[in-house]
Structures are given as structure tokens and as C-alpha cells.
């Protein structure tokens, strides 16, 4: 693990100190959202295959498949997270690898969930896994990374688009991609809309299967050749392994997502719709994205109502899709849906038979070093954050205690792309102010955040003179208060007191990589101070 | 004109719900010490509410009131002693059955104002009738105190007292509603309706609010911030109503300038009820900060 005293520090464009290099790897400091061009001239290339006259790729056991692709010590393996908290694939594979005694692997998942934490932690402790290439970390896994005790190199935390860029550029060289597939045929044509573990889409795996040297598909639903639709086609897949179960359907999709009942959150959602409208963004043909958190779902509901009331039609919506967006598609208030992840059964079912509801490779969604991405066409995106600061920088990776806790998702990608980026946050959470002077960790630069909506006031980024000008002529309802970000910070700290800085140690445990591959911030280890449980507690040793 | 379209109940013993209560811009907040607080929490709630009144800024658009326990309970008297302060605008008295119920509170509030060095008579009173006896005595109760600015009705308790059933059409309590309204108007004060209990049923709330607005009520109590917007939407005059009211006042103005006693708008005569209604609509629109267009008409 890199010691803070050993690296040479340089200040990046948002005033954060980042290392010039780490473990011999040159790093580029963040230099603005659209300024870093690709470092490499060409994409990283995967190995050629050789199938000769083979007519089936089905292999009897997972172990045999791992042996066949030649997984060795020190290699990199990847997984997608479409089965969410119902995933059984990663645990199954890690268990097999552990048994085979392969060590020092780099784990490069698109994201992780609680159901995988125990296994990942075991593998880290016994040396099966030596390094993490994010993606994100959360929960116990995030706390383990934050403890700085077990991994030999800092983890890189990347956005969805940033991970695609890193794989294409060869920053992450995937040796074996393990792809959980809700349906597969014997040559490895895969899709995610049929089968007992249907999850709607496996688009997060598209970049992995295109750039990994080897691909092993794992399915619990082998179907007759050829499997339609071929979301991932046979030419990318080395072997197919059939197992009893790849996922727990009740945890893959949330049964019924509910709009929040919290009055403050509902107010935030409603004010977000109102401010988007006052700023002229709720218009015919608008394209938007909001997640599946309580505020985002409520935003969808209120936006749906307003669109109906105005008698207009939205162009398309994208992101994690839910019943709430499908309802809009069905009543014609939005024309098309693009799914990044399907969050509930309604969305999964709808993807089966609605031609206006499709998935998209994550590169086409958010990769800045690709040749076109949908985030650039977004009119409005509504995001959350754990903190926002006076420069409008947003933190979505660590808690205010400094501990890595949240997945960063497509936060910085959509913020950079959308014409109007709105961050919705409560002014404070428990004893922590959320609008702070300086974020604990920066994931999304303030230059790409336009509006911060809290329950007690709304701040417009002063860089957006055009928005401020528009608001001058708009009639703001009296229950909404437009103020400066400094005022929001003051209101927050009047209630909670000022932010307490984390008790940082002197190791760099993670680098926050911006979507273009530059380094926007670092995360250090956290030393327990007030509360022992503030960092990872080694349960085995207790 | 003091707008009291919406009155939000906030449980007095819930420290999470009290601080943001002003954010939703109901016209009135009632920090509740009575029905939403169980007997074992009465003292806690009283302390919490009296402290909250001192330190929490509920914002500019809200009238901050407390619903005390009835004086017939062991808590009512102490409630008044502790909650009367600079920031308190009014007290809601529950289960009022007689003129004395109001007078007693009035006298206690006066004593407290004096003892605490507060401006005399600033704190308003509102009486809630929740029994048949209270409803029958409403005409006298409505005139019981100079502080009294409104009377209101407690739907649940009244229904139980009458032996009726709560229903969407309000059959059990509609007569009582009419009596309350008559009593309020006769005394020149406001009439405020009871809550609509199912806060997820927006359409039901809209229906009931529309009905009581048509009856003549000034506002309605609510138990969830979600209900405020619907209630305001119903009570706010529509743009057509505002436009018509503006044209009526224009016509009156034109007639006055001409020195004509007969006021006409188009082919219609403007008589006193029409003029009064126009005035009331414009007063409501102004108080709710709605936009009032200027309309030019060829005279």
C-alpha cells in the first residue's frame, strides 16, 4: 500500500492533491471534464480464438472451464452485477478458484453487492485476491478497503463509463470474464430476458466479453441452439458451464419499489421537478435520467404528472429502469426507454416484448473515449450524493467519516453529459451536514453540477449564469427558496455543527479515477478515533 | 385577510418531524399535544414543543400554533403555562363544549402574557367542537372571546359521539359542518374543516375539500404534508375566477367615475353579492400571492 509520505503530490484542477505516480504507474491529474485525450493510440486487443470444427462449448464443471482457459496466479478476472444482491456467480467462481489454489488475482467487477462481501473478504485475507480494480466498493467490502490493511495496491474507483474506458484502453486487462447468463445455448449465445434468473439485460458485460482474453458463460438455463436474441454472441464466448442456479430471483429484482413517504424527500423531489420546469427543461422531447432511490422515483412520479398536465411527450429516459418509467412508456408520456439495469420485474418483463424499450452497451451510455454516448444527449439528470461542497463538487464514494461506502455508478458520466445536472440531497443526515465547505472525497467535479436541491433551499451553480438569468424572470413558488450554496452550508452547520474531518491515516487506499482516466482525488485509510466501528472490524479476530 | 387554507398537524413528541414542519408552507402548523400524543408522553411532548417554539425557525409563510390538551385533563393548564411565548401565534382548544371552555383558556393566556411580559391579546384562539353539545353551543362559543379567530370541527370524535359512521359523503357530520359554518359567519370569524384521514387518497381529499369549499369553509386540517398542495389548489381561486373578479371591480370603478348608480358588466348587472364575491376572490388571490392580471376593457 502506498504511503502518503512516499509519493510526490501535485495539485489537480480542482485543488486536490493527487500523486504523480504510484507503484511505478504514471498518473495524470484531473484537468477539467473534457480535456484529457486518450493516452493510448489504440484499443487494447483480446486474444484471437480457435474453434476449428467444435460444435459445442459446454463444459461439465466450472473447475474444468477455469482450467481450460488457463487461469493462473496474478491474472485479472471480472464479473457483472446484473443479479444485484441475488448474485450467486461470483461466490461460486471465487470458491472454485480458492479450491484450485490460484492466488494473487485482481478482481475487476462492474460492482459488488452485500451477498458477495463475505466471499470477497475471505479471498482477500487468504491471498486469492490481491488487488481490486473498480468499479466501486461498498458495505463491509468498502470498509475493508478503507482499513488499508489487506490490499497491496490502492483500489481504483471508476464510474460506469470510466470502467469501460479503462477496459478498452487496457488499463484493466481482463484475462477471464465470468458472465452469468440467464439463458445460453451450447455455443454461448446469451441473453438476459429468458430463464429463471432473468434480469432484463447483461449490458455491463458487453465490454468485458469484447476485451477479455477468455469468456466463461455460466447459466442455469441451457436452451436449444440458437438462443435468440443473441445479446452476447457466440463469437465472444469460450465456454459454457451449466449450474443449478445462478441467482435468487427474489433478490435480483426488487419486488415493488416504493416512492418514499418521507415528507422532506418528497418535497425535494417535487421542487426538483418544479425547478427543472422553471428553468425551461420540462419541454416536448426532453430526455432525462433519474435513478431508483426514493427521491428519484418520486421525481419520476412528479415529472410524469407534470408532463401529462402540460400535454407534452418526453423523448427518452434511461438509467436503471423501473415500473415508474414503464408506466410512462405505456401511456405515451415518454417515447423510448434505454435500460442500463432493470430494477424490478415490470421493467424486466417489459424489455421482453416492447420494441421501444432496449438496453445499450455501457460504453454507448457513458464512455467519454468512445465515439458517442447517450449521456451527452441528456437534458436533465437527477443524482444523489453523500456530500456536496461550496464548489458544487459531489462525493458519492465515501461517507463523511472517510470510509468507502457507496457505489459511484454513472454519477460523473451523466453529470458531465447532461445539460442540466441536479444533485438532490437532504441538507443534513443525522449529525452530518451534507452541504459542506469541502467534500471529504470528490467524485464528480463541480464544473459539471448545475443545481443542488435540498429541502431547505436550492442553489444554482454561479458558473451557470444562463440559469440564474432565467430564474430572474421566473415566478418561484413561495415554498421554494433559491439561495447560494454558502447559505445552504450555513443552514446545515447551524443545525449539525461544522463537519468533522475524518481521522485519516497515512496510506492511500483508493484513487478516484475520473471518467477520462485522470485522477480527481485520493482516499486514505481511516484510523478509528471516536468509534471503533468507524472502520472495518476484523470479525475473525474478535 | 389571514389565509388559513391548510393547517398541518405535527405530533408534538416527534423530534424528527417538528424541525422541518415549516418547509411545506401550510398556512398553519399545529404542534399537537393532544390526540397524537399518548398519556405517557404528554410531559415530554410539552417540553419538546415549548423548546421547539423558542429555537426553530418555521419560516415566513406559516402561522405557528399549538393544540393543547383540554383544561379538563391534568395536562391542559400546564400546556398553556409552558407554550405561551413570543413565537406562538395561536392555540387550538380541543373538545370545546361551552363558552366557559374558551373563556378559561383566554384568561390563562392573558395571565401568561402578563407574567412573561408579552404583548397583550396577540395570541389567537381557535375552538374545536367535537361533540353534539359543542356543536349545539357553537353560536355562543364563536362569540366567547376577542381572541377567537376561528372555529373548527373534529370529525372522528364527533362521528363517534353521534353514533354515525365516517364515510366519503360525510353524511354523519355534514349537518354539524353547516352549523359550525353558520356560527362562524354569524360571529364574523373563520370556519375550518376537519382532517381527511387517508393521506394517500388524493382524489378523496380533493373531493371532500371541494365540497367544504363550496359550503363556504376557509380551510381544512391535514395530517400529512402531501395533503397541503391539494388543499391549496382547491382553495385558490382559478385564473377564470380571478379574471372575472378583476372585471367586476373594473366595472364598479368605471361606474363610480361616471357617477352612475347602475353597475353593468357586459349585459349583466353587478349587484352587491357579485361585488362581495369578487372582493373575496381578489383578497384570497392576493394573500396566496397568485398573479392578478390587468384587464383593459372598452368602457
Claim to verify: residue A241 and residue A269 sit in the same structural domain: no
Give the Cα separation of A129 and A126 in Å (integer).
8
Give the Cα separation of B118 and B137 in Å (integer).
31
Beta pairing partners, A239: A216
Number of H helices, E strands in chain A: 15, 31
Q: How far is CA A478 from the centre of its chain?
A: 36
pLDDT band at A542 (very low <50, low <70, confident <90, very high): very low
Claim to verify: residue A181 and residue A80 sit in the same structural domain: yes
Q: Is the pLDDT of residue B254 over 90?
A: no
**Which grid coordinates belong to B220?**
381544512
Give the Cα separation of A530 and A401 in Å (integer).
11
Q: Is B120 buried (19+), middle (13-18) or exposed (0-12) by CB count in 10 A?
A: exposed
Domain limits at A204?
A: 55-133+172-252
**Which grid coordinates belong to A312?**
407534452
Query: The CATH number of the domain where A393 resides is what?
Result: 3.40.1080.10
Question: A455, B19: Cβ pair inside 8 Å?
Answer: no
Q: Which of A252, A281, A296 is a domain's end point?
A: A252
Average the pLDDT over each of A225-239, A284-298, B131-145, B211-225 and give the range with the smallest value: A284-298
Residues in chain A within 8 Å Cβ distance of B289: 478
Please write the tens of the pLDDT for every residue from A231-271.
Answer: 999 999 999 999 999 999 999 987 667 788 889 999 999 99
Helix (H, G, I), strand (E, B) or coil at A215: strand
- Max CA-CA distance within chain B? 69
Question: B61, A479: Cβ pair inside 8 Å?
Answer: yes
Residues in chain B within 8 Å Cβ distance of A474: none
Claim to verify: residue A242 and residue A354 sit in the same structural domain: no
pLDDT of residue A3: 85
Give the number of domains in chain B.
2
**Candidate from B25, B224, B291 with C-beta closest to A479:** B25
The beta strand positions in A117-228, using DSSP E, are: 129-132, 155-157, 176-181, 183-184, 190-191, 214-219
The beta strand positions in B147-237, using DSSP E, are: 148-153, 190-193, 219-222
Q: Which of A481, A496, A511 is a domain's end point?
A: A496
Cis-peptide, bond into residue A285, ω within 30° of zero: no
- In B, minimum Cα distance to A456 occurs at B23
Note whether residue A160 is domain-resident. no
Claim to verify: residue A245 and residue A293 sit in the same structural domain: no
Question: A263, B226: Cβ pair inside 8 Å?
Answer: yes
CB contact at 8 A, A495 and A456: no
Q: What percent of chain A is predicted at pLDDT more than 90?
A: 84
Note whether residue B296 is domain-resident. no
Question: A267, B19: Cβ pair inside 8 Å?
Answer: no
Strands A76-79 and A176-181: parallel
**Candidate from A267, A475, A495 with C-beta closest to B23:** A267
Please write the tens of the pLDDT for every residue from B146-185.
Answer: 999 999 999 999 999 999 998 888 899 999 999 999 999 9
Claim to verify: residue B183 and residue B141 sit in the same structural domain: yes
Question: B25, A495: Cβ pair inside 8 Å?
Answer: no
CB contact at 8 A, A524 and A507: yes
- In this prediction, residues B269-295 reach a mean pLDDT of 89
How many residues in total does chain B contain?
Answer: 299
B192 — phi, psi (to 5°)? -125, 135
Claim to verify: residue B78 and residue B212 sit in the same structural domain: yes
Average the pLDDT over each of A279-293, A367-381, B20-34, B245-259 and give the range with the smallest value: B245-259
Q: What percent of chain B is predicted at pLDDT more than 90?
A: 80
Per the prediction, chain B carries an average pLDDT of 93
Note whether residue A46 is domain-resident. no
Helix (H, G, I), strand (E, B) or coil at A47: coil
Note whether residue A502 is domain-resident. no
Give the number of domains in chain A.
2
Question: B25, A478: Cβ pair inside 8 Å?
Answer: yes
Q: Which of B218, B235, B252 is a domain's end point?
A: B235
pLDDT of residue A291: 77
B191 — phi, psi (to 5°)? -120, 125
**Which grid coordinates belong to A473?**
424572470
Claim to verify: residue A198 and residue A338 sit in the same structural domain: no
Query: The CATH number of the domain where B67 resides is what?
Result: 3.20.20.60
**Candidate from A267, A475, A495 with C-beta closest to B24:** A267
**Which grid coordinates belong to A537?**
472490524
Beta pairing partners, A337: A317, A357
| Cβ contacts from A onto B, under 8 A | 25
Kindly report the number of other CB atoms within 10 A of residue A102's CB atom.
17
Please write the tens of the pLDDT for every residue from A277-326.
Answer: 999 999 999 999 997 778 999 999 999 999 999 999 999 999 999 999 99
> Grid cell 468533522 — which residue?
A500
Cis-peptide, bond into residue A229, ω within 30° of zero: yes
Give the Cα separation of B118 and B129 in Å (integer).
28
Claim to verify: residue B270 and residue B230 sit in the same structural domain: no
Residues in chain B within 8 Å Cβ distance of A494: none
CB contact at 8 A, A105 and A74: yes
Cis-peptide, bond into residue A113, ω within 30° of zero: no
Note whether residue B1 is domain-resident. no
Rg of the Cα atoms in chain A? 23
Smallest CA-to-CA distance from B137 within B127, B147, B146, B150 is with B127
How many residues in total does chain A contain?
Answer: 542
Note whether residue A542 is domain-resident. no
Domain limits at B32?
A: 6-235
Residues in chain B within 8 Å Cβ distance of A456: 20, 23
HSE of A531, CA atoms in CB hemisphere, 13 A: 7
Amino acid at each position: 500500500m502506498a504511503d502518503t509520505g512516499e509519493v510526490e503530490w501535485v495539485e489537480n484542477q480542482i485543488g486536490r492533491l493527487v500523486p504523480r505516480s504510484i507503484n511505478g504507474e504514471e498518473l495524470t491529474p484531473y484537468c477539467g471534464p473534457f480535456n484529457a485525450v486518450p493516452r493510448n493510440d489504440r484499443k487494447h486487443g483480446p486474444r484471437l480464438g480457435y474453434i476449428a470444427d467444435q460444435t459445442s462449448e459446454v463444459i461439465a464443471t466450472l473447475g474444468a472451464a477455469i482450467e481450460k482457459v488457463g487461469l493462473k496466479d496474478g491474472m485479472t478476472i471480472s464479473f457483472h452485477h446484473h443479479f444485484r444482491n441475488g448474485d450467486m456467480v461470483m461466490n461460486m467462481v471465487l470458491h472454485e478458484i480458492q479450491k484450485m489454489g490460484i492466488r494473487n488475482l485482481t478482481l475487476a467487477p462492474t460492482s459488488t453487492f452485500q451477498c458477495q462481501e463475505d466471499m470477497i473478504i475471505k479471498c482477500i485475507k487468504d491471498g486469492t485476491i490481491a488487488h481490486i480494480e473498480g468499479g466501486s466498493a461498498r458495505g463491509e467490502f468498502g470498509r475493508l478497503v478503507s482499513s488499508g490493511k489487506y490490499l497491496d495496491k490502492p483500489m481504483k474507483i471508476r464510474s460506469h463509463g470510466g470502467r469501460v474506458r479503462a477496459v478498452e484502453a487496457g488499463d484493466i486487462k481482463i484475462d477471464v470474464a465470468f458472465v452469468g447468463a440467464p439463458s445460453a445455448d451450447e455455443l454461448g449465445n446469451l441473453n438476459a430476458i429468458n430463464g429463471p434468473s432473468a434480469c432484463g439485460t447483461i449490458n455491463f458485460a458487453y465490454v468485458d466479453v469484447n476485451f477479455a482474453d477468455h469468456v466463461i458463460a455460466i447459466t442455469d438455463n441451457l436452451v436449444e441452439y440458437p438462443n435468440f436474441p443473441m445479446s452476447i454472441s457466440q463469437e465472444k464466448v469460450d465456454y459454457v458451464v451449466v449450474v443449478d442456479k445462478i441467482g435468487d430471483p427474489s433478490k435480483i429484482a426488487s419486488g415493488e419499489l416504493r416512492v418514499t413517504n418521507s415528507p422532506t424527500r418528497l418535497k425535494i423531489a417535487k421542487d426538483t421537478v418544479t425547478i427543472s420546469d422553471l428553468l425551461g427543461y420540462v419541454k416536448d422531447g426532453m430526455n432525462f435520467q433519474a435513478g431508483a432511490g426514493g427521491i428519484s422515483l418520486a421525481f419520476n412520479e412528479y415529472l410524469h404528472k407534470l408532463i401529462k398536465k402540460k400535454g407534452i411527450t418526453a423523448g427518452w429516459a434511461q438509467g436503471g429502469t423501473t415500473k415508474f418509467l414503464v408506466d410512462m412508456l405505456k401511456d405515451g408520456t415518454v417515447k423510448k426507454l434505454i435500460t442500463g439495469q432493470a430494477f424490478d420485474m415490470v421493467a424486466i418483463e417489459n424489455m421482453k416484448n416492447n420494441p421501444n424499450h432496449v438496453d445499450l452497451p455501457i460504453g454507448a451510455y457513458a464512455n467519454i473515449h468512445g465515439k458517442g454516448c447517450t449521456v451527452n444527449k441528456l437534458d436533465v439528470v437527477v443524482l444523489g450524493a453523500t456530500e456536496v461542497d461550496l464548489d458544487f463538487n459531489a462525493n458519492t464514494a465515501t461517507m463523511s467519516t472517510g470510509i468507502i461506502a457507496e457505489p459511484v455508478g454513472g454519477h460523473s458520466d451523466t453529470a458531465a453529459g447532461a445539460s442540466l445536472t441536479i444533485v438532490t440531497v437532504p441538507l443534513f443526515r443525522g449529525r452530518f451536514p451534507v452541504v459542506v465547505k469541502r467534500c471529504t472525497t470528490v467524485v464528480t467535479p463541480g464544473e459539471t453540477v448545475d443545481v443542488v436541491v435540498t429541502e431547505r433551499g436550492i442553489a444554482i451553480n454561479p458558473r451557470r449564469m444562463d440559469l440564474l438569468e432565467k430564474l430572474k424572470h421566473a415566478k418561484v413558488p413561495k415554498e421554494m427558496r433559491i439561495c447560494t450554496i454558502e447559505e445552504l452550508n450555513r443552514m446545515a452547520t447551524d443545525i449539525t455543527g461544522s463537519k468533522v474531518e475524518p481521522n485519516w491515516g497515512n496510506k492511500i487506499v483508493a484513487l478516484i479515477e475520473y471518467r477520462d482516466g485522470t485522477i480527481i482525488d485520493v482516499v486514505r485509510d481511516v484510523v478509528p478515533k471516536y468509534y471503533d466501528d468507524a472502520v472495518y472490524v476484523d470479525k475473525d479476530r474478535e | 385577510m389571514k389565509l388559513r387554507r391548510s393547517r398541518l398537524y405535527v405530533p408534538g413528541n416527534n423530534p424528527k418531524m417538528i424541525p422541518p414542519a415549516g418547509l411545506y408552507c401550510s398556512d398553519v402548523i399545529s404542534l399537537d399535544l393532544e390526540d397524537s400524543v399518548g398519556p405517557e408522553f404528554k410531559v415530554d411532548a410539552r417540553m419538546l414543543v415549548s423548546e421547539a417554539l423558542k429555537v426553530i425557525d418555521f419560516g415566513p409563510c406559516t402561522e405557528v400554533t399549538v393544540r393543547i390538551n383540554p383544561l379538563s385533563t391534568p395536562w391542559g393548564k400546564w400546556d398553556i403555562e409552558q407554550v405561551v411565548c413570543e413565537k406562538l401565534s395561536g392555540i387550538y382548544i380541543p373538545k370545546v363544549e361551552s363558552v366557559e371552555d374558551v373563556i378559561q383558556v383566554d384568561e390563562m393566556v392573558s395571565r401568561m402574557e402578563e407574567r412573561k411580559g408579552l404583548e397583550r391579546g396577540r395570541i389567537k384562539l381557535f375552538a374545536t367542537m367535537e361533540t353534539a353539545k359543542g356543536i349545539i353551543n357553537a353560536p355562543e362559543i364563536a362569540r366567547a372571546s376577542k381572541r377567537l379567530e376561528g372555529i373548527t370541527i373534529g370529525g372522528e370524535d364527533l362521528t363517534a359521539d353521534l353514533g354515525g359512521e365516517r364515510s366519503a359523503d360525510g353524511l354523519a357530520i355534514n349537518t354539524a359542518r353547516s352549523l359550525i359554518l353558520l356560527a362562524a359567519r354569524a360571529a364574523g370569524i373563520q370556519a375550518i374543516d376537519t382532517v381527511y384521514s387517508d393521506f394517500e387518497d388524493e382524489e378523496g381529499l380533493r373531493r371532500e375539500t371541494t365540497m367544504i369549499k363550496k359550503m363556504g369553509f376557509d380551510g381544512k386540517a391535514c395530517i400529512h404534508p402531501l395533503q397541503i398542495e391539494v388543499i391549496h389548489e382547491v382553495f385558490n381561486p382559478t385564473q377564470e375566477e380571478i379574471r372575472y373578479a378583476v372585471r367586476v371591480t373594473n366595472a364598479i370603478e368605471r361606474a363610480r367615475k361616471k357617477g352612475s348608480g347602475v353597475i353593468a358588466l357586459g349585459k349583466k348587472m353587478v349587484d352587491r353579492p357579485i361585488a362581495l364575491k369578487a372582493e373575496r376572490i381578489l383578497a384570497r388571490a392576493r394573500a396566496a400571492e397568485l398573479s392578478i392580471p390587468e384587464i383593459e376593457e372598452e368602457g
